[in-house]
């Protein structure tokens, strides 16, 4: 309902005071929490409140995220949570990494966004750095603000280069929810309501290179060819699903043999998450196009990119705005990306993820032996880990039990019975041990 301007000014002034750090008494905080819930109900989406209630115990759904540092976040009432979710993969460098925040603040003090007319130095600088850290001939970049747009761009680039419009994706794969990227989604419930408008895509089981080869042979025999095969090196939203050894090497060989581009979706696996800088590094494979997102913005700015080889990029040259966006490649996001790459290498975040991931998986194997009726299994690479519960209900109970104990986790997009563990890669070992301890308490409680 439209309100008089004076009312809007009063409300926005109040918000600005709180943003500015105005202190609140406990009753004021409680009132603010109530107001926020009401705004979610009326103006955001009350379905989200229903979801929060399903993964928390009595009344706790109303926690308001307020501040954070490293692998710990705090709600408005000052309660601390070990962040074992990492903002679904954006906080690989931790929450508010000081070096990344500082770089962004410095750039903001100069100019936050750009005219889009002059040359943007940090876009160029970040592209140069990415060319230096990505595999093979990858070296030409386009920047946008979220993962789905990176996939959209990759789809357009592959169509432009190959002049084909058929794609292949994997069951269980997740590549975003805008119309193009949604076409690649390996799960019916998100696709069905929009089926009519989706890009033509065929699916193969994840991890099955023979199935991919067979599909490509069938396509060829029927006079068709795919523009690209899109694949995550480890499936992230599916909950840390690791393909068999040798899979990506075979995928690379099959794509090359059939003249189909290989698009690696590194939006979640990139920037050290799986224990190497890129998920494809485990296989020593160079894709034709790579999509980056989430933690490339250092957990401070939204940033994503697609990057390809100079040869493929030629199709973008004649009309350099054949693909363009207002905010893509803006200075503060690119500065965050530069700082994120610096921190990732300087702190050896991939190496830390490898060691800590092994520790967590070992502990989960122990807990599975101790509580087989609760934990059915676990899998993952580096700090991209999924725990499998026998039922969705047990998954919800585990998430709620952990939340009660101050550990933040979440289910996957496909099922609540898979719970992910995806903390900051630099999470201190002591905090990981604390997290495992709270997991054990939760399992003990559920086992009764
Ligand atoms: C592998 C992968 N691709 C694409 C996306 C979509 O990214 P965004 O949510 O930033 O659009 C995600 C998000 O979870 C992802 O994990």
Find out whether the beta carbon of 174 lies less than 6 Å from any atom of ligand 1. Answer: yes
**Cα(268) to centroid(ligand 1), Å:** 7
| Same domain for 396 and 269 | no
Examine the domain organization and report whether 150 and 243 are in the same domain: yes
Query: 11 in a domain, yes or no?
Result: no
Q: Is 152 in the pocket of ligand 1 (CB under 6 A)?
A: no
If one counts the domains in the chain, the total is: 2
CA neighbor of 425 nearest in space, from 359, 352, 364 = 352
Question: What is the rounded average pLDDT of the residues 420-432?
Answer: 97
Distance 89 CA to ligand 1 centre (A): 9
d(CA 255, CA 248): 10
What does residue 392 show for φ and ψ, rounded to 5 degrees? -60, -40
Range of the domain at 433: 23-84+348-447
CB-count burial class (<10 Å; 0-12, 13-18, 19+) for 59: exposed
Residue 15 CA to ligand 1 centre (angstroms):
30
**Does position 147 have pLDDT exceeding 90, yes or no?**
yes
Residues with Cβ within 8 Å of 73's Cβ and at least 6 positions away in sequence, in order, are: 65, 67, 80, 81, 83, 95, 408
pLDDT tier for residue 262 given thresholds of 50, 70 and 90: very high
* Ligand 1 pocket member 270 (CB < 6 A): no
pLDDT, tens only, 345-404:
999 999 999 999 999 999 999 999 999 999 999 999 999 999 999 999 999 999 999 999
Average pLDDT, rounded, for the chain = 96
Is residue 414 scored above 80 in pLDDT? no
Place of tokens 């040359």: 119
How far is it, in rounded angstroms, from Cα 397 to Cα 399?
5
Residue 60: both structure tokens together: 């706790």
Dihedral angle sign, alpha carbons of residues 420, 394, 58, 48: positive
Q: Which atom of ligand 1 is nearest to the CA of 237?
A: 16
The per-residue pLDDT for 57 is 81
> How many whole angstroms from 19 Cα to the centroid of ligand 1?
29
Q: For residues 122 and 184, state if they share a domain.
A: yes
The residue from 281, 312, 346 where one domain ends is 346
Ligand 1 pocket test target in 87, 174, 280, 386 with most atoms within 8 Å of CB: 174
State whether 292 and 333 are in the same domain.
yes
**Cα(86) to centroid(ligand 1), Å:** 14
Summarize pLDDT for 177-191 with one digit per residue, the tens: 999 999 999 989 899
Task: Please measure the distance between the N-terminal and C-terminal CA atoms of the chain and give it in whole angstroms.
Answer: 50
Helical segments of 259-376, H only: 310-313, 331-346, 349-370
Q: Are residues 104 and 66 in the same domain?
A: no
283-318 pLDDT, tens digit per residue, is 999 999 999 999 999 999 999 999 999 999 999 999
Q: Are residues 256 and 193 in the same domain?
A: yes
Evaluate: CB of 337 within 6 angstroms of ligand 1.
no
């Amino acid at each position: 309902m439209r309100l008089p301007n004076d009312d809007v000014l009063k409300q926005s002034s109040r918000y600005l005071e709180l943003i500015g750090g105005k202190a609140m008494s406990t009753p004021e905080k409680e009132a603010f929490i109530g107001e926020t819930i009401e705004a979610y109900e009326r103006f955001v989406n009350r379905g989200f409140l229903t979801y929060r209630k399903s993964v928390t115990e009595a009344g706790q759904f109303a926690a308001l995220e307020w501040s954070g540092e490293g692998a710990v976040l705090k709600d408005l009432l000052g309660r601390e949570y070990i962040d074992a979710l990492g903002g679904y993969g954006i906080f690989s460098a931790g929450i508010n990494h000081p070096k990344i925040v500082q770089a962004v603040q410095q750039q903001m003090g100069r100019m936050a966004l750009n005219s889009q007319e002059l040359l943007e130095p940090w876009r160029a600088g970040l592209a140069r750095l990415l060319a230096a850290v990505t595999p093979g001939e990858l070296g030409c970049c386009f920047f946008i603000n979220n993962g789905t747009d990176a996939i959209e761009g990759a789809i357009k680039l592959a169509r432009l280069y190959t002049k084909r419009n058929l794609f292949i994706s994997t069951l269980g794969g997740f590549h975003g929810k805008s119309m193009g990227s949604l076409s690649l989604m390996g799960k019916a419930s998100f696709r069905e309501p929009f089926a009519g408008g989706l890009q033509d895509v065929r699916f193969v089981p994840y991890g099955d290179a023979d199935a991919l080869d067979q599909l490509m042979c069938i396509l060829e025999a029927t006079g068709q060819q795919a523009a690209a095969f899109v694949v995550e090196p480890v499936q992230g939203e599916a909950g840390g699903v690791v393909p068999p050894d040798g899979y990506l090497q075979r995928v690379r060989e099959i794509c090359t043999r059939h003249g189909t581009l290989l698009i690696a979706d590194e939006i979640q696996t990139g920037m050290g998450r799986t224990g190497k800088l890129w998920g494809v590094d485990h296989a020593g494979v160079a894709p034709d196009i790579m999509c980056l997102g989430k933690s490339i913005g250092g957990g401070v700015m939204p940033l994503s990119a697609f990057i390809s080889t100079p040869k493929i990029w030629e199709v973008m040259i004649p009309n350099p705005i054949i693909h363009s966006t207002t905010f893509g490649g803006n200075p503060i996001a690119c500065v965050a990306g530069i700082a994120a790459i610096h921190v990732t290498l300087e702190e050896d975040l991939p190496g830390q993820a490898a060691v800590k991931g092994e520790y967590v998986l070992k502990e989960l194997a122990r807990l599975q032996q101790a509580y087989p009726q609760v934990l059915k299994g676990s899998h993952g690479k580096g700090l991209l880990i999924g725990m499998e519960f026998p039922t969705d209900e047990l998954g919800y109970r585990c998430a709620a039990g952990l939340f009660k104990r101050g550990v933040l986790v979440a289910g996957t997009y496909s099922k609540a019975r898979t719970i992910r563990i995806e903390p900051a890669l630099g999470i201190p070992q002591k905090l990981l041990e604390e997290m495992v301890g709270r997991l054990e308490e939760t399992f003990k409680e559920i086992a009764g």
